[in-house]
Amino acid sequence: MARKIGFYGVIAYFLYGLFFYWYLFYFADTSLAFEYEGSRADPATFLNSRELMLSEGYSKIRDLLFFLSTPFEWLFYLFIMLLGFSNAFKKWAEQSSKFKFIQISIYLIWLSFFSFIATLPLSYISYSLSKSYNISTQSFGGWMKDELIDFWINYGTMLIIVPVLYWLINKSRKRWWLYAWLISIPFTLFMMFLQPVVIDPLYNDFYPLKNKELEAKILDLADKANIPAEHVFEVNMSEKTNALNAYVNGIGSNSRIVLWDTTLNQLNENEILFIMAHEMGHYVEKHIYFGIAGYLLLSLVGLYLAARIMEQVISRWGNVFKIPAVNDIRSLPLFLMIISMLLFISSPFSNFVSRYQESRADKYAIELTKDTEAAIQTFQELTRAGRSQVNPPLLVKIFRYGHPTMLERISYLEEYEIKNRSK
């Protein structure tokens, strides 16, 4: 039975990969409708032929890697169970210590290590791709350092969550998912509070914006929007990428407005102010807090479904997967696989909500700055720097895009400009 499940798993993954290869390289049409040709949303008007070719080539390969990587994670967890690795991890942990917490930590380090090794080739391909298309400027050593930081942060997070999770399962087989969700609320808020000041600085150096004249204009914009900001931060992303970005993260007193130095180097002042106005739109419309509420609601549904699915799978195929019960640590790969699947299935919905919020932030930014020229040029430069498609395929938009497409964003600005000319 184990061989049969493994065989069908590999075949399903192979057919899935073939479908997306065919879809992205042969079926999907990224050309613009007639009414958009020649507009400022048409990439032919602001990208040269080489840039157009690079954007199309890079986007197709990057999107294929995205669609291959998540199901590969499911396949990895499936074989960890079928081949008895989860069983071996538990045996090694029990032989190393009689203390439960130490046993869990040893089990987790083995599972995390095998997961890291299994997914490293895909991560390296993604890194090499962005390097070859002149998006990544990071050295191999710098990239590997970030990968190792990811590894230890993920391991540390798991070391906090997993012992609590299995303690709850042992205490209540029927309602552990609810108690786990209740505990996740303060934990999520605490991690968001720590993110800007503890986790982010592990990857990059953050410092107050050096251009004080620009900072004064950004803070003046924030004052008009009634945002209590005292500093704007910049981060040295040029050591890693040529892409552009800016964001607001954190909650409470730890919230930060952050600009990548690539954005500062490649955009003019008006374009930067538009980006900042966009980020302020998220703050004004409380998107961070709506996002937290949405995440917590989805996690409640996800934990409930995971609990029900785990019970069904273990009762039917527990012997095949070598999992005697839900409360056994050997069920962790199954739990992680189910959560990953649920996240993938729910991503079209979460991306739809995110695109709506981003479009609202765009609307707020243009209403605040009234500078459509700077706004359009900003989106054109973002497209050029990120080798992005203006009009991505439908499935890519649904599963990958948390922002409106550049076609939608620039077209909205052109319509806004026309309406305001007529006033």
- Per DSSP, the three-state class of 121 is helix
Beta bridge partners of 247: 258
Q: Domain ranges for the chain, please list them.
A: 2-204+286-421
The better pLDDT of the pair 15, 207 is held by: 15
Q: Which two tokens mark 206?
A: 């953050």
Query: How many residues are recorded in the chain?
Result: 423
* Predicted local distance difference test score (pLDDT) of residue 306: 95
- Per DSSP, the three-state class of 133 is coil
Angle among Cα 382, 387, 393 to the nearest 5 degrees reads: 100
**Please, which pLDDT band fits residue 298 given cuts at 50, 70 and 90?**
very high
Q: Which of 279, 328, 371, 408 is catalytic?
A: 279
**Please, which pLDDT band fits residue 422 given cuts at 50, 70 and 90?**
low
- Has residue 202 got a pLDDT over 90? no
Candidates 403, 398, 193, 377; CA nearest to 279 is 403
Q: Which two tokens mark 210?
A: 């050096």
Q: Which helix (H) or strand (E) holds 47?
A: none
Q: What are phi and psi of 400, to 5 degrees?
A: -115, -30
Candidates 256, 233, 258; CA nearest to 245 is 258
> What pLDDT, in 10s, does the model give residues 83-122?
989 999 999 998 888 888 999 999 999 999 999 999 999 9
Contacts of 124 (CB under 8 A, 6+ apart): none
**Please, which pLDDT band fits residue 283 given cuts at 50, 70 and 90?**
confident
The per-residue b/e assignment along 46-58, b for 16 or more CB within 10 angstroms, e otherwise, is bbeeeeeebbeeb
- Edge to edge, what strands does the sheet with 256-260 contain? 206-208, 233-235, 256-260, 246-249
Mean predicted lDDT score pLDDT of the chain: 90
Q: Which two tokens mark 164?
A: 């609590």
Taking the CB of residue 268, how many other CB atoms lie within 10 A of it? 11
Q: Which of 215, 261, 328, 362 is catalytic?
A: 362
- Has residue 29 got a pLDDT over 60? yes
- Has residue 315 got a pLDDT over 80? yes
Burial class, 257, CB count within 10 angstroms (exposed 0-12 / middle 13-18 / buried 19+): buried
Cα separation, 234 vs 263, whole angstroms: 9
Cα separation, 380 vs 363, whole angstroms: 17
Where do the H-state alpha helices sit in 370-405?
A: 372-386, 394-400
- Average pLDDT value for residue range 3-32: 90
Q: Which helix (H) or strand (E) holds 298?
A: helix 287-321
Cα separation, 102 vs 104, whole angstroms: 5
| 278 in a known ligand binding site | yes
User: Any catalytic annotation for residue 279?
Assistant: yes
- Average pLDDT value for residue range 294-313: 93
* Predicted local distance difference test score (pLDDT) of residue 200: 83
* Predicted local distance difference test score (pLDDT) of residue 314: 92
Q: Which two tokens mark 273?
A: 């102010």
* Predicted local distance difference test score (pLDDT) of residue 205: 84
- Average pLDDT value for residue range 270-278: 91
| Residues above pLDDT 70, as percent of the chain | 97
Q: Which two tokens mark 403?
A: 């922002």
* Predicted local distance difference test score (pLDDT) of residue 192: 81
Q: Are strands 233-235 and 256-260 parallel, antiparallel or unpaired?
A: parallel
**Please, which pLDDT band fits residue 77 given cuts at 50, 70 and 90?**
very high
Taking the CB of residue 233, how many other CB atoms lie within 10 A of it? 15
- Has residue 423 got a pLDDT over 60? no
User: Any catalytic annotation for residue 261?
Assistant: no
- Has residue 287 got a pLDDT over 90? no
* Predicted local distance difference test score (pLDDT) of residue 229: 65
Q: What is the largest CA-CA distance in the chain?
A: 78
- Has residue 266 got a pLDDT over 70? yes
**Please, which pLDDT band fits residue 364 given cuts at 50, 70 and 90?**
very high
pTM: 0.90
